[in-house]
Amino acid sequence: MEPVLAELETALGHAFRVPELLLHALTHRSLAREQAAKERPHKSGSDGDGTSGCMAGDNERLEFLGDAVLGLVVAESLFGVHPDWDEGELTRVRSRLVSRLHIAQVAEGIGLGRHLRLSRAEEKGGLRRKSTVLSNTMEAVLGALFLDGGLEPVRAFVRRQILGEAAEQLAEELRSGAALGNYKSALQERLQADRSGTPVYRVKSESGPDHHKQFLVEVRLMMEAGEPGKPLARGTGSTKKLAEQDAAHRALDKLARQKAGQPGEAKEEEAEE
């Protein structure tokens, strides 16, 4: 095993019996095609041990396997740790934990991008830093981890890197009614429960070029039909939906501070008029 990959083994918490599995999991299709073009008509065969056949070409087959193993291990862990959660709660938390965004963040955390094996062209194009490639490679590495050591090293890595504080944070969101990021629904439920009115959203401004838009959205409390009341909060995002979610999130935080008697930011939105 190359010294730099030994660092990755340390991050994964597993020393590979078959190091070629890890190398294969790190091989992007761009490099596999580049190598295949040089080596034709050479073909790799299987020696019947269940590993060599999967090590020909890129890491996409291992990604398929890793995705399935990841879903199983996360579901197993949540099922055991949270016996009071119903199917809907388990499904929503699992969905967030195995999302491409979260898995890409895990990959960044262990420095996986440094070890990705790319073609020269893709190396120059910055593919090493793309979140989709990082999440796909992370799943391929989990597939390799499973083939090399079974479920136990995957379980250990998932508990340590993929669940950890993230699972507790999501659990707290669930308990607080934030609906795992669906802050618009949570805000509407909160206002309905308090009989305060209905939240309405409007775009205050748009900025930036078409490929990098930024929206500023305001959420107001509508007391009567057609009469928007006082502004609750403002939010920003690269799409209107994301900006609305951000505004709702800020409004929930503001209401929580007011209920706790903490200083709020009531004038913040008005000052931006």
pLDDT in tens, the chain (273 residues): 566 688 999 999 999 999 999 999 998 877 666 566 666 655 544 444 444 444 557 889 999 999 999 999 999 999 998 888 778 778 878 888 888 888 999 999 999 988 888 767 666 667 677 888 899 999 999 999 999 999 999 999 999 999 977 777 776 665 555 544 578 877 887 787 777 788 999 999 998 887 778 899 999 988 666 566 788 999 988 788 888 988 988 898 888 788 777 654 444 433 343
Q: Is 141 helix (H, G, I), strand (E, B) or coil?
A: helix
Query: Could you give the CA distance from residue 247 to residue 237 in angstroms, rounded to a whole number?
Result: 9
Question: Identity (one letter) of the amino acid at 211?
Answer: H
- Where do runs of H (alpha helix) occur along the chain? 3-12, 19-25, 29-39, 60-81, 87-97, 100-109, 120-124, 131-149, 151-157, 164-176, 183-194, 240-259, 268-271
**Rg of the chain in Å (alpha carbons):** 24
Q: What is the pLDDT of residue 202?
A: 92
Query: Could you give the CA distance from residue 100 to residue 78 in angstroms, rounded to a whole number?
Result: 19
Contact predicate 32/159, CB 8 Å = no
Query: Could you give the CA distance from residue 66 to residue 63 in angstroms, rounded to a whole number?
Result: 5
183-271 shares the fold of 3-176 = no
Fold of 183-271: Double Stranded RNA Binding Domain (3.30.160)
Q: At what angle do helices 240-259 and 183-194 cross, to 10 degrees?
A: 40
Neighbouring-strand partners of residue 206: 215
Query: Which are the catalytic amino acids?
Result: 67, 139
Candidate CATH numbers 3.40.50.620, 3.10.290.10, 1.10.1520.10, 3.30.360.10; the one for domain 3-176: 1.10.1520.10
Backbone angles phi, psi at 98, to 5 degrees: -100, 5
Q: What is the pLDDT of residue 233?
A: 94
Q: Is 148 helix (H, G, I), strand (E, B) or coil?
A: helix
**Token pair of 240 as six digits:** 């209107």
Domain residues of the chain, as ranges?
3-176, 183-271
